[in-house]
Homo-oligomer: A and B are copies of this chain.
Amino acid sequence: MPKNQCKNNKIKKISPRSLKKEDSIETVRHSLAHIMTGVIQELYPNVKFGIGPAIDNGFYYDFDFSEIKVVNPKSEIRNPKQIQNSNNQNSKQEFKLSPDDLPKIEAKMRELISQNITFIKKDISQTRAKKIFTDQPYKLELIKKINEKSISLYESGNFVDLCAGPHIKSTSEINSKAFKLTKIAGAYWRGDEKNAMLTRIYGLAFETEKELADYLKQQEEAEKRDHRILGQKLDLFLIDPTVGMGLVMWQPKGALLWRIMEDYWYQEHLKNGYELVRTPHIGSRKLWETSGHWGFYNESMYPPLEVGQTLKEVQENKKPNVKEEYLLKPMNCPFHIILYNSRPKSYRDLPIRWAECGTVYRYEKSGELSGLTRVRGFTQDDAHIVCSKNQVKEELKKVALFIASMLKTFGFKEFNVYLSLRDPKNKEKYAGDDEGWKMTQKVLREVAKEMNFNYKEEAGEAAFYGPKLDFKIKDCLGREWQCSTLQFDFNLPQRFDMSFVNEKGQKEKPYVLHRVLFGSFERFIGVLLEHYAGALPLWLSPEQVWILPISSSHKKYAQEIGKRFQASGFRFQVKDENETIGKKIREGEMQKIPYLLIVGDKEIKAKTVAVRQRGKGDLGQMATDKFIDIIKKEIASKK
């Protein structure tokens, strides 16, 4: 059973930020992309080139192999050069690069690197560039988009690429033991699904062999913790194309985990002075026009539902006689504001703190979807705080504390704070005036400082309606996950003409804070699963204890213990199917059950249970009372 690696500190945390000479390794990565492409050109002369930048931890390059044909894809001849002259046109099939081809490409790259090939920059004219890349349609497309007269190329050995650089001087700068080609994936040209699908080859590259080895080890650990695989193994959730990609269905154990989290969340919200509200999943288009979502956010929204036309008309494709249009909600805010506006409010009513676990729908591109962490439907643990100007700082701080305490309870001791600001160069992407942005950004910055957060500022990361503080969780592999956020809104109060009567009897405009603690249940559960490698703490485990009778004569005793557990409110199962005890234990370990209790003749006689704790193994016999006491304490500790 995989132990909780996080506690054991077996994994060294590596992040690209820790590399000393970031700039130089970035240049090495970019140059490796050119070297790889030179090799590909040599092996597959008819290949067309896309682009190939350096990325975090490595590089990639995109290729179009569609003009390369192979006679028989099953034959072992993988080098299409040998096939080019074949006249057997009929049996030609499109060539497809295989992961098995990568070591060969890598070997040829090392060969080139050892030749100390130099990178030479050349500036040439548009006309000359078009001639050089005459049979490279993707490069020609790029050249046309360049507005400057002079175009920059890089030559390395026999390979020439359209490139602004910079590059290393010579391949002697590359540590040829510290790179590795890792995988092949499909990628649309320029990321647009309307364009051709190209073949992308990814590589890793670091300064030292050790860094590469550490990174690979970390990746391996991350794969073990992949929530998509764990979700399947532990039978927590299902994403099925029949229903739709990015739409999560929760199996009983997953739904139970959700309920446990939601119950805790709700109790904490009551303690923190929140009330619940509840709103529908669709609202009229008018509502979203008023809120500004339709104007500023529609690229992320599902298209309108047009009602008023009969379904028969839709089926027959008749021009719809549109009477009403509804939109699936991408956010809960406008509904909460309509509730606020439904009755006059006074300063005595503020601050109002209204929470809702509201399921929202956003249309993400299919290529961006990933398990629970990037979905099309998700449940925000949302709340809106409506308050007066003199309450706003206090409320912001309260939320920041609430976020920190919630994250801690769920096992995330560390998080990074980002102050997300408006992009001053793209003001048209945001609602509201300069003054409002200036003020709200200033207040959020003050809050971050006064809370002693070690925060970073990020321009262009604000919501369209205001600046925000984003809390990115660090999981036990050191990876960052954007979950909690606290947003400051001065726009929606204006757009919906919100008001309250202040102490002087005058109408005043309130501020609205938007906040989520988990972010969404889906993503937070995904991150939890990865953080704990599926071995959730006892208080969160959908199944806390399995009672395993050794043989059928021990079933009765197992069931008696079950009755006591029921009375204590534990989540348990008596596994009394006719399987060997060994098989039951293995199954329990696979399912990451926190406690397995084995009961046989010995335990019946001594009125005990034999306890196996997840990650710690056999704890020996224990009186049932004592076991109940121990796990009651463990559940209450939330550890």
Contact = CB atoms under 8 A, between A and B. Distances in A.
Interface in A292-343: 298-299, 301-307, 309-311, 314, 324, 326, 328, 334-335, 338-339, 342-343
Interface residues of A, number: 62
Nearest to A277: B255
A461 B258 CA distance: 37
Nearest to A247: B280
Contact of A242 (B252, B287, B299, B309): B287
Given A283-B243, A287-B243, A277 B251 contact: yes
Given A303-B311, A324-B244, A326-B244, A238 B338 contact: yes
A254 interface: yes
A577 B259 contact: no
A250 B276 CA distance: 9
Contact of A306 (B282, B286, B303): B303
A275 B256 contact: yes
B299 A278 contact: no
Contact of A249 (B248, B278, B326): B278
A244 B284 CA distance: 6
A259 B314 CA distance: 38
A57 interface: no
A334 B286 CA distance: 32
A234 B215 CA distance: 60
B252 A354 contact: yes
A284 B240 CA distance: 10
A281 B248 CA distance: 10
Nearest to A235: B343
A243 B248 CA distance: 26
A248 B282 CA distance: 10
Contacts of A335: 243, 249
Contact of A280 (B243, B343, B348): B243
Nearest to A249: B279
A244 B304 CA distance: 14
Contacts of A287: 242-244
B307 A302 contact: yes
B244 A282 contact: yes
Given A249-B335, A275-B252, A335-B243, A304 B298 contact: no
Contacts of A208: none
B277 A250 contact: yes
Nearest to A342: B238
A478 to B, nearest CB: 31
A291 to B, nearest CB: 10
A7 to B, nearest CB: 30
A266 interface: yes
Given A275-B255, A276-B256, A279-B250, A243 B284 contact: yes
A338 B240 contact: yes
A491 interface: no
B338 A280 contact: no
A412 interface: no
A244 B248 CA distance: 27
A488 interface: no
B254 A278 contact: yes
A290 interface: yes
B311 A301 contact: yes
A345 to B, nearest CB: 12
A279 B242 CA distance: 13
A248 B277 CA distance: 11
A130 to B, nearest CB: 32
A361 B281 contact: yes
Contacts of A240: 338, 342
B342 A282 contact: no
A371 interface: no
Contacts of A549: none
A368 B278 CA distance: 23
A37 interface: no
A286 to B, nearest CB: 6
Interface in A222-240: 235, 238, 240
A547 B553 CA distance: 59
A287 B282 CA distance: 21
Contacts of A256: 275-276
Nearest to A252: B275
Given A249-B278, A284-B243, A259 B266 contact: yes
Contacts of A307: 302-303, 363
6 contacts: A242-B286, A252-B276, A280-B377, A282-B328, A302-B305, A303-B305
Interface of A: 235, 238, 240-244, 247-252, 254-256, 258-259, 266, 275-284, 286-287, 290, 298-299, 301-307, 309-311, 314, 324, 326, 328, 334-335, 338-339, 342-343, 348, 354, 356, 359, 361, 363, 377, 577
A-B pairs with lowest CB-CB distance, top 5: A252-B275, A250-B278, A255-B276, A247-B280, A255-B278
